[in-house]
Chains A and B, each alone.
Chain A
Amino acid sequence: MEILKGLKYSKTHEWVKVDEGVAYVGISDFAQESLGDIVYVELPTVDSEVSKGDEVANIESVKAASPIFSPLSGTIVKVNEELEEEAELINHTPYDAYIFAIEMSNPSELDEMMDADAYEEYCETEASH
């Protein structure tokens, strides 16, 4: 399982990467591995306002639908339309296949997220349950 350094992670297994002030959100390798074959992603609507913890997208694996929660508050400014045709990109390259991007209204929320080391520890306790 790969945990990319330099990203922030949530307890619901989303990652965040900030690039030029915009926060890109995807799911971790741990998350895609436990979901299995991903066949469809229901993307959020661009320009919608979201709060931290909101259910904003859905990832459908063969077995089940899994909600994706926004780890940050703000406005959705971009969605990864590539995933509409190739949802399996999340399985293949989870850290490249962002799902949506947010213009943050409260960047200090980033500080509440885990760094790679803390997230690795978190996954170990999750896996042992």
Chain B
Amino acid sequence: MENLKRTPLYQCYSKYPGAKFIDFGGWELPVNFEAGIIGEHMAVRKVAGMFDVSHMGEIIVEGPDAESYLDYLVTNDVKGMEDYQVIYTLMCYPEGTVVDDLLIYKYNNKKYMLVVNASNVEKDYNWILKNKKGQVSIENISDRIAQIAFQGPKAEEILQKYVNFDLSSIKFFHFKDPVQINGIDCIVSRTGYTGEDGFEIYLTAEQSPRVWDYIYEKTKNDGVLPCGLGCRDTLRFEAKLPLYGHEISDKITPIEAGLKYFVKLDKQNFIGKDVLVNQVQQGVKRSLKGLEMIDKGIPRSEYKVYKDDKEIGFITTGSYSPMLDKNVALAMIDSNLKVGDEVYVEIHGKMKKAIIVKTPFYKNTKKE
């Protein structure tokens, strides 16, 4: 694969003969390791898995007006955050559609770290600069930072044996900085993109292979697997966590995508507010719903959905669900449809029956 970017952890992959690589938005990243997508998926649901997510972007926003500026830039409540808290939020265009979804890490009301999608780093950075308000400095540090996600119901129990700080003191959607892993300074947050408990670890690119190797060597006998982007997608999909370009995009609003919880309509002002307030008050014509296939076949992204021979929308993500052992999908369709309604998905030119089901498809009951 030519001209693809590689993460600082790429050098570790020679140790994993089963690793298969794909071009993911210009990055050469493992889609799966030896265990395969389903094996890795189940490891994360039952034990824990580790992912290289160094392709994600990190942007530092600092300055006396950082808090009020970010509160205006994104949909969620930045002013209400406590120090060392993390929030999930969206950044919208004035039209209400989505620039990107991101995490915001708050150090204090003058310093924040934004974690954005790899494929959107440049676009986001330019958007953030363009909408700059007041005294703030904005720095894209993506190339200097690596990220390892350690995810699964046993993530805390296993990782705790090999780190000398108390992981249980990091609450859900909070972080600590710095903490040492194998003597190396890291930022550790209790966050993730799998629907399981777990941690995301940020550190410098140069030091990251030492931390990856350390965690892998220590935890492999506990059943922890190295995991690729393939299961990252199936895991986040089962838990109904949106993926930019699928459930949300520059053509879809957070309200349509069922993300109203992360849009604080009572905030004084933020980009996209007028449209989003209007959508909540008037209702939306289409919204994100879950489908389960009755007929055989796997619905995939962009396949069309029909009701009574009328096209009513499209699949945003569809897959075989390893946990349910069923073929399911998320679809952006007519918002009037209810759980139990029958629809049809066009798969390879044939109409295949499906029913509307509740989402998420999977929920870890033990998670906070």
Contact = CB atoms under 8 A, between A and B. Distances in A.
Contacts of A40: 296-298, 320, 327
Interface stretch (B32-40, B83-91, B202-210, B360-368): B32-40
Q: How large is the interface on B (under 10, 10 to 19, 20 to 34, 35 or more residues)?
A: 10 to 19
B348 A65 contact: yes
Nearest to A39: B320
Nearest to B233: A63
Interface of B is mostly: mixed
B353 interface: no
Nearest to A55: B348
B227 interface: no
B31 to A, nearest CB: 7
Contacts of B322: 62
Contact of B298 (A34, A37, A39, A84): A39
Given A36-B31, A36-B230, A58-B348, A64 B38 contact: no
B348 A63 contact: no
B45 interface: no
Contact of A60 (B32, B39, B230, B320): B320
Which of A36, A58, A61, A62 has the largest number of chain B CB atoms within 10 A?
A62
B234 interface: yes
B20 interface: yes
19 contacts: A36-B31, A36-B32, A36-B36, A36-B37, A37-B38, A37-B39, A39-B320, A40-B298, A40-B320, A42-B297, A42-B348, A58-B348, A60-B297, A62-B38, A62-B230, A62-B319, A63-B230, A65-B300, A84-B296
Interface of A: 34, 36-37, 39-40, 42, 58, 60-65, 84
